[in-house]
Each structure stands twice: as structure tokens, then as C-alpha cells.
Amino acid sequence: MQLRVARIGKPHGIRGEVTVQVLTDSPEERFDRGAVLAYDVEAATPGSLAVRTLTVRSARWNKDILVLGFEEVPDRNRAEELRGTTLYVDTEELDDESEEGWYEHELVGLEVRVDGRAVGTVAALQVMPAQDLLVVDTPDGEVLVPFVEEIVPEVDVEGGFVVVLPPTGLFELNREAGGDDSPGETRGGDA
């Protein structure tokens, strides 16, 4: 399985460096010198580079922006061809040093349970600076759940569910915003 780690932005300078939008919570590990990153050739500009991987030559921070240089990208013209390209790492190649974390592809589709009842499914994981958020699709709309142990005490990937202990009103906010239901009603009876 491939894990998105960055999206290439505009070129930086004339030596083939690019700015990147970081999509990983551990950029120091993912963009270490010599790291090999994959990308989808179809995502790149037609007629551009024919390689499917890029090897990190350099990584540095310019204020709050990560600037990467690649062995296969010697100049600004080649860097421009990669603008908008998403970079990936294979999860099989990653170290299993953290048994407490999950990747987005492991969480998406899991049933979300509150008090033993299914209330929706995980649609995405938003990696944020302060804390990550689970995006939960419910019959009443999308709910953002802080992905912290106090609120999400159990994640059972093999069992296909996560247990959520939501603060009062977290799932009810969307019901009120919808305006179609009276305060005591729910759609589908499983909210």
C-alpha cells in the first residue's frame, strides 16, 4: 500500500529544488537524504520525466516551507514539470517502530461505535498541527472527531471498528445544523 507523504509545489531556485506541501506527520524521517519516493507518472505533466521514483538529494526548511532536491531533477525546468505531483512511500518499507499509530488507509471504512451502536464510518483522517481528526460520515452529515485516546479509546482494525466516547453534543451538532429534523428525531434511527 502506498502512503501519500507530500505534494510538489513550485520550483525553488535554479538547481532543481521544489517546495512541497507536507502530508506526513514525520517529515524528518520521510525526506531523509537518500529516501526513495514514488509518484504516479500520469499525475505529472505529459511528456515530462519518465521516472517513477525520485531520490531525495537534499531537504531543508525555508521558514515554514519544506524545500526538497532530487537526484533525478537537475534544474528548474525539470522541477517545473513535477509541479502538482503527489509523492508516496510504500508502507511495507516503513519501520514498524510505532505500534500505537495507524495510517489513513487502515482507518477509512471502519465502523464508528458510540455506546455499542454504529453511528457512521470513518471517511478520512485529517493530520493537523495540534491533533489529528477522524472524519466520520453519519446519516446526519460529516462529524470531525478529535483522534485522541480519551475520545477514541479503541481502534480494532481487524474487527473493523473504532469506539468513540464523544463529548456531549459532538454528534448532535450536525443534526441541529440540518434543520430538517425536530430536536428529538434522528434520520435512520441510528444516530
In tens, the pLDDT along 135-161 reads: 999 998 899 999 998 999 999 989 999
Is residue 16 within 8 Å of 73, Cβ to Cβ? yes
Task: Supply the pLDDT for residue 180.
Answer: 47
**Global model pTM greater than 0.75:** no
Across the chain, mean pLDDT equals: 81
Position 15 pLDDT exceeds 90 = yes
8 Å CB contact between 137 and 160? no
- Domains of the chain (ranges; CATH) run 2-93 (2.40.30.60), 104-178 (2.30.30.240)
Which residues are registered as beta bridge partners of 124? 135
Mean pLDDT computed over 50-63: 85
Mean pLDDT of 114-128: 90
